[in-house]
Chains A and B, each alone.
Chain A
Amino acid sequence: MESVLKITWKRLPLSSNFAIAQAVKDSDVDVVSAYPITPQTTVVERISEFIANGELKAEMIHVESEHSAMSAAIGASAFGARAFTATASQGLELMHELLHIASGLRLPIVMSVAARALSAPISIWGDYTDVMNARDTSWVTLIASTAQEAYDSIIQAYKIAEDPRVFLPVMVAYDGYAMSHTYEPVYVSEKADAFKDYIPKNPQWYTLNPDKPVTIGSIASPDWYYEFKYQQVVAMKNAYDVVKEADEEYGKRYERKYGIIEEDGVEGSDITFVTYGGIFGTLKESVEELRKKGEKIGLARIRLFRPFPSEDIAKIAEKTKALVVLDRAITYGVGISGPVSREIISSLYSRGIERNVYSFIIGIGQRTVTEKDMAAIYEKTKEMLASHEKQKESVYWGVRE
């Protein structure tokens, strides 16, 4: 049994942004490069304060764009440093080219994303279109639903990214505004760098070291390129187990864990709601009200978006009669336009599991979703189920005619 470093916790009122900054400090990150963007900015403001006060020994690079933020993080990580960046929305889009390169070069960078709608028209408010647009970039993607989970997930993210079975960058997403700027009680370590047992520093990835010169980022002809991309397929597959192990070990050490999909009351339910991010809080409260009226409703929150937990979602589907998927992003030009809905439908179809999956689009550009909306969505789903209606197009909940 390895020794467990005892952590003394302190309870602080923190927004998810501040919780993430705290986690960056507690992960003893070496290099932070970031550019201001709403609603991410307070993450790097707080990290800058930690550095200015000597609470975190790190280099902060105040880059001139998100493109350079990710480029500098790539450089730092390729040198063997623990690198961090944070962004949102347009910033993530500006980085997009580099997202593929960070994963293609197999660099364990960690990034937080305060999920926000995309222009045009410009919207500084929350939804998950930015995160979903990055889904094919080969980044392991976690979506947190509380500030506490955001804190814990950043620390776990380094465990996952730096695991030799993975060596992929990890993104931790959470709701812009609804979480980034809302204060919750969060347990954080009393002391900085308290997690060095859990995430020891021992860079095993290829680094730029004059004592052992490596060429990183060569040009690959059709004879070679495919194999490097397949390596990423395998690394992503491996990431599933590594995410699970990282969470379990974290749970054992620090008594908090989240699983791959958080579920509640799914077994024997008539309908199970599936969603991700901070909206899960609202959903839970309204479902409690509905359950009091005798409705048999299950709840599931997807915490791991990439690699997508198809097996877990299939197991959930088998325990319930129908699924309602609440997506906060739109993929245009297809009938079922909720990105997670589509993943779930494909997961069930390929496993021969026949369940009705109802896709609802909600909270686009932070359109308010109340408990009343949740109850109404539930009623609407019951109607569709009763009429044996097959859904061919997502319901755009609350859009004005």
Chain B
Amino acid sequence: MMAKPFFRTVYDVPREEYLAPGHGLCAGCTAGTIVKLLLKVAGPNTIVVNATGCVEVSTTPFPYTSWKVPWIHVAFENAAAVASGIESALKALKAKGVLDPSKKINIIALAGDGGTYDIGFQALSGMLERGHKVMYVLYDNEAYMNTGIQRSGGTPVYAWTTTTPVGKILKGKIQQKKPIAEIVAAHRIPYVATANPGYFADMMNKFKKGLEVDGPSFVHVIQPCTTGWKFDPRYGIVLARLATETGLWINWEQEEGQFRVTVTVPRRKHVRHYFELQGRFSHLTPEEIEAIQKEVDLEADRINKLVGRTVIGPLVE
């Protein structure tokens, strides 16, 4: 039996804000949405370790901070290691009676795709293996947006970035996106999930579960980037939802080894609806779009077989 989800409607969402306005994220940056909702779930007894990235620089230009919870930035590649140190300190000070052992403090590592797939991967894997009680939240905008849209291990195939330009011979990124959440799941930690701000309750429930498990957890959130993906800022959440509606982004969780798709898609939209809205894919030919569609179809089949029933439905529009 599964427990009832904690967040079901907007009325379950606390009013308190722990991300203050006045930050410098781009207009329509969905990272703002994600972080704001993350902090509503976590509440005030929370410490955030932020890897270098858009969120870090935009929210803490001295002398201004948008954080109402304790926050630390150390470097790009080590959010997981810094969080490990904080968690160990918390344990040690509780064991020594310096802190009340019943006091619960959430420790969240927050990093982008560069800080997770690439430069931060070793520290992340170490933290997971050692079993620190830290929730690692990856906001994945699929490129190094903070330095100006360079490709990362999280950039999808064919996407234009400033280092995978659309030229006469090479057109966008050649390689596939690294399946980071599956790699994390292979560490056999208590909780791994993928989430989408377009499905806020599902995402917030995942943050809540991630904070509650006894050990490391990982929540991988898709984060449409108006600047890097080249779309009108008003479509951030529309695009996030389209990623799921087309089957390109599947919202799943793995809890104590049990894999589950949390947002089922009864009728799947064609991937072209997702690509059409984004400048980074504007060079795609109809043949290339069809090739991607085929891959998504195969992935839907694989997921359905894995789950044992149809959770990602047929292509209908």
A11 to B69, CA, bound (A): 49
* A105 touches which of B49, B74, B80 (Cβ 8 Å): B74
Q: Type the 1/0 row for B171-197, where 1 means its CB is closer than 8 Å to any CB of A.
A: 000000000000000000000000000
**Within 8 Å of chain A (Cβ to Cβ): is B63?**
yes
Please tell me if the beta carbons of B123 and A30 are within 8 angstroms of each other in the complex.
no
Contacts of A98 in B (CB 8 A): 74-75, 78
How many positions in chain A have a CB within 8 Å of any CB in the partner chain? 43
Contacts of A219 in B (CB 8 A): 56-57, 60-62, 73
Please tell me if the beta carbons of B69 and A213 are within 8 angstroms of each other in the complex.
yes
Q: Can you name 18 A-B pairs with beta carbons within 8 Å?
A: A31-B89, A61-B85, A63-B126, A68-B122, A71-B123, A75-B86, A75-B89, A76-B86, A78-B85, A79-B47, A81-B93, A210-B44, A213-B67, A213-B71, A214-B70, A215-B65, A218-B63, A219-B57
Please tell me if the beta carbons of B96 and A33 are within 8 angstroms of each other in the complex.
no
Residues 1 to 46 of chain A near chain B (Cβ within 8 Å): 30-31, 33
**Within 8 Å of chain B (Cβ to Cβ): is A72?**
yes
Please tell me if the beta carbons of B86 and A71 are within 8 angstroms of each other in the complex.
no
Given A74-B82, A76-B85, A208-B47, is A65 in contact with B126 using a C-beta cutoff of 8 Å? Answer: yes
Please tell me if the beta carbons of A58 and B63 are within 8 angstroms of each other in the complex.
no
Closest Cβ of chain A to B94, distance in Å, is 10
Please tell me if the beta carbons of A67 and B77 are within 8 angstroms of each other in the complex.
yes
**Within 8 Å of chain A (Cβ to Cβ): is B92?**
yes
Contacts of A215 in B (CB 8 A): 60, 65, 67, 70-72
> Quick one: closest A residue to B71, CB to CB?
A215
A58 to B46, CA, bound (A): 23
A325 to B293, CA, bound (A): 72
**Within 8 Å of chain A (Cβ to Cβ): is B95?**
yes
A64 to B44, CA, bound (A): 31
Closest Cβ of chain B to A210, distance in Å, is 5
Q: Tell me the total A-B contact number using a CB cutoff of 8 A.
A: 162
Residues 49 to 75 of chain A near chain B (Cβ within 8 Å): 57-59, 61-65, 67-68, 71-75
Contacts of B211 in A (CB 8 A): none
Contacts of A79 in B (CB 8 A): 47, 85-86, 89-90, 93
> Quick one: closest A residue to B65, CB to CB?
A215
How many positions in chain B have a CB within 8 Å of any CB in the partner chain? 47
Please tell me if the beta carbons of B49 and A75 are within 8 angstroms of each other in the complex.
yes
Residues 116 to 169 of chain B near chain A (Cβ within 8 Å): 122-123, 125-126, 129-130
Given A75-B72, A219-B57, is A30 in contact with B89 using a C-beta cutoff of 8 Å? Answer: yes
Contacts of A208 in B (CB 8 A): 47, 70-72, 86
Closest Cβ of chain B to A97, distance in Å, is 6
Given A81-B89, A216-B73, is A57 in contact with B96 using a C-beta cutoff of 8 Å? Answer: yes
Residues 139 to 169 of chain A near chain B (Cβ within 8 Å): none
Closest Cβ of chain B to A36, distance in Å, is 14
* B88 touches which of A74, A76, A213 (Cβ 8 Å): A76
Known: A64-B125, A68-B122. 5 other contacts (CB 8 A): A67-B81, A75-B81, A208-B71, A210-B105, A218-B73
A56 to B133, CA, bound (A): 22
Please tell me if the beta carbons of B73 and A210 are within 8 angstroms of each other in the complex.
no
A64 to B68, CA, bound (A): 32
Residues 186 to 229 of chain A near chain B (Cβ within 8 Å): 201, 208-210, 213-221, 224
Contacts of A61 in B (CB 8 A): 84-85, 88, 130
Closest Cβ of chain A to B212, distance in Å, is 18
Closest Cβ of chain B to A62, distance in Å, is 7
Given A33-B88, A64-B122, A64-B123, is A72 in contact with B81 using a C-beta cutoff of 8 Å? Answer: yes
Contacts of A214 in B (CB 8 A): 70-71
> Quick one: closest B residue to A58, CB to CB?
B92
* A30 touches which of B71, B78, B80, B96 (Cβ 8 Å): B96
A63 to B124, CA, bound (A): 11
Please tell me if the beta carbons of B84 and A72 are within 8 angstroms of each other in the complex.
yes
The 9 closest A-B pairs by CB, nearest first: A75-B85, A72-B85, A64-B126, A71-B81, A81-B89, A68-B81, A217-B73, A71-B78, A215-B65
